[in-house]
Amino acid sequence: MEFKLVEKKKDSIRVEIVDADETLIVPLIHELLQDKNVADARYVTGHPQLDKPVLTVEVKEGKPQAALKKAAKSLANQFAEARELIEKQI
């Protein structure tokens, strides 16, 4: 999966996702929407053969890139904790 910046504004960012994996995208959007500084986070797939999926993050305050990084880091920590629990119990 690869992220490409499509558009960057003061309060929003649009990122094209190449080889998108919705197993990661859905939790990422959920995590973004939990952030009080995020006004909106949406993922548009468009036409499967003509369009690349685009993630849009709009913030009330702060930088949208920071919100995206924060959400990604939070998810990474959650998955690491889950992996540690599985490794201990199996």
Residue 27 has pLDDT above 90, yes or no: yes
Give yes or no for a contact between 19 and 3, defined as CB atoms under 8 angstroms apart: no
CATH number at residue 77: 3.30.1360.10
The pTM assigned to this predicted structure is 0.86
Residue 40, C-beta contacts closer than 8 angstroms, at least 6 positions apart: 56, 57, 58
Residue 33 has pLDDT above 90, yes or no: yes
Number of domains in the chain: 1
- Looking at per-residue confidence, does 69 or 24 come out higher? 69
Mean pLDDT of 16-21: 85
Structural domain boundaries enclosing 53: 2-89
Q: At residue 6, does pLDDT exceed 90?
A: yes
